[in-house]
């Protein structure tokens, strides 16, 4: 997987993109990098990473991945703040998915406006999102 293109759509290899974040050897420098790494973590079912990068004030105790759900493509629509110099940021993205169930296969698109902030360690964390 590490030589394959990263699932986040960066056009970099997984090893050059999200893997260092997932393995804990690096931290995202921007809110967009965190959002991309979380998308890839959802696609790869990396629950620990998702929970670790979720703000402790909004983090659920636990969650499960939806059976049959496969994330297919990510597109960043808009970013606001969230740079290396900012304390908060917002990223709007569209994620294409395919859901296989007993009723067949269904394709869809989820759009979310995600909010991020820096935690006490100055790392980006996911705070909340509005799905439309």
Q: For 67-96, write each residue's pLDDT tens digit.
A: 999 999 999 999 999 999 999 999 999 999
Of residues 1 and 110, more confidently modeled:
110
Inter-residue long-range contacts of 57-64, CB under 8 Å, 24+ positions, other chains counted: 57/127, 58/126, 58/127, 58/128
Which residues face 69 on adjacent strands? 99
Phi-psi region of 61 (alpha: psi -120 to 50; beta: other; left: phi over 0): alpha
Nearest to 21 by CA among 120, 127, 121, 124: 124
What distance in Å separates the CA atoms of residue 97 and residue 120, rounded to the nearest whole number?
A: 34
pLDDT for 2 equals: 63
Q: Is the CB of residue 58 less than 8 Å from the CB of residue 86?
A: no
Nearest to 114 by CA among 6, 37, 45: 37
The mean per-residue pLDDT over the stretch 113-130 comes to: 98
pLDDT for 102 equals: 85
pLDDT for 97 equals: 97
């Amino acid at each position: 997987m590490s030589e394959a293109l990263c699932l986040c759509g960066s056009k970099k290899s997984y090893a050059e993109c999200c893997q260092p974040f997932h393995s804990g050897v690096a931290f995202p420098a921007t809110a967009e990098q965190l959002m991309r790494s979380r998308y890839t973590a959802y696609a790869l079912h990396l629950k620990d990473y998702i929970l670790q990068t979720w703000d402790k004030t909004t983090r659920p105790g636990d969650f499960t991945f939806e059976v049959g759900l496969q994330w297919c493509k990510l597109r960043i629509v808009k970013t606001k703040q969230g740079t290396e110099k900012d304390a908060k940021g917002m990223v709007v993205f569209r994620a294409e998915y395919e859901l296989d169930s007993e009723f067949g296969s269904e394709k869809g698109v989820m759009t979310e406006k995600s909010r991020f902030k820096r935690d006490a360690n100055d790392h980006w964390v996911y705070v909340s999102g509005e799905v439309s």
